[in-house]
Copies of this chain bind each other. A is one copy, B any other.
Amino acid sequence: MKLLEDRIKKDGTCIGTEIVKVDSFLNHQIDVALVRALGEEFARLFKDESPNKILTIEASGIPIAFAAAQALGDIPVVFAKKSAPSTMIEDAYTADVKSFTKGTVSTVRVAHQYLSKEDRVLIIDDFLASGEAGLGLAMLLEEAGAKCVGFGAAIEKEHQGGHARLEALGIRVESLAVISSIKDGEIVFKS
């Protein structure tokens, strides 16, 4: 998606060879019009899969998932939680997910009542790197007996292998901007 690639070129920065920082429009400050356009593009790509629900993970995935859900006719968004607040007292599906940028492992959870065997679920996240979050969320769906109809990432770092890992599970993966490498502080997009 040219709009997103252009924005990453203009405002994204690199840290080393593995991390792309997009805090000014996606991860800390949100460019609302841009994120709405990302949501519309996910809707275009996945509408024929007839998702009835979107699953994402707190926190940065939420605005993109919200925008995609709007564009898909206001289907519900469920966000997996990284900690269990005292209000979350029911049984939950859980999976351990390693955060690439935080170096921590979180147990993410979704309460049983928000996923069912009848659900056709589209997973949306901001980044696809090694695929840890996507694999964790796909495991939650499998545990719930729900159908995963696809995984959509705003930004994929192809060289970190997550795309191939998710596809190996039979999941259709769509990324709106695919970075093939980061070299000498320069972000190289897949041509």
A83 to B27: give the CA distance in the assembly, Å.
13
Which residues from B are CB-within-8-Å of A101? 85-87
User: Contact partner of A32 among B27, B35, B69, CB < 8 A?
Assistant: B69
Q: Taking the full assembly, how many copies of this chain does it contain?
A: 2
Which residues from B are CB-within-8-Å of A63? 62-63, 66, 77
Which residues from B are CB-within-8-Å of A67? 66
Which residues from B are CB-within-8-Å of A31? 76
A169 at the interface (CB under 8 A from B): no
- Tell me if B23 and A79 are in contact (CB < 8 A): no
User: Contact partner of A81 among B28, B33, B70, B83, CB < 8 A?
Assistant: B28
Given A19-B86, A85-B102, also A74-B32 (CB < 8 A):
yes
Q: Is the interface of A mostly helix, strand, loop or mixed?
A: mixed
A87 to B19: give the CA distance in the assembly, Å.
8
A21 at the interface (CB under 8 A from B): yes
User: Contact partner of A58 among B19, B58, B78, B110, CB < 8 A?
Assistant: B58
A108 to B143: give the CA distance in the assembly, Å.
34
A101 to B83: give the CA distance in the assembly, Å.
11
Closest chain B CB from A54 CB (angstroms): 9
User: A71-111, CB under 8 A of B: which get 1 and which 0?
Assistant: 00011111101010111110000000001011100000011
Which residues from B are CB-within-8-Å of A110? 28
A44 to B79: give the CA distance in the assembly, Å.
28
A146 at the interface (CB under 8 A from B): no
A189 at the interface (CB under 8 A from B): no
5 contacts between A and B (CB under 8 A): A28-B88, A28-B114, A32-B74, A32-B76, A62-B66
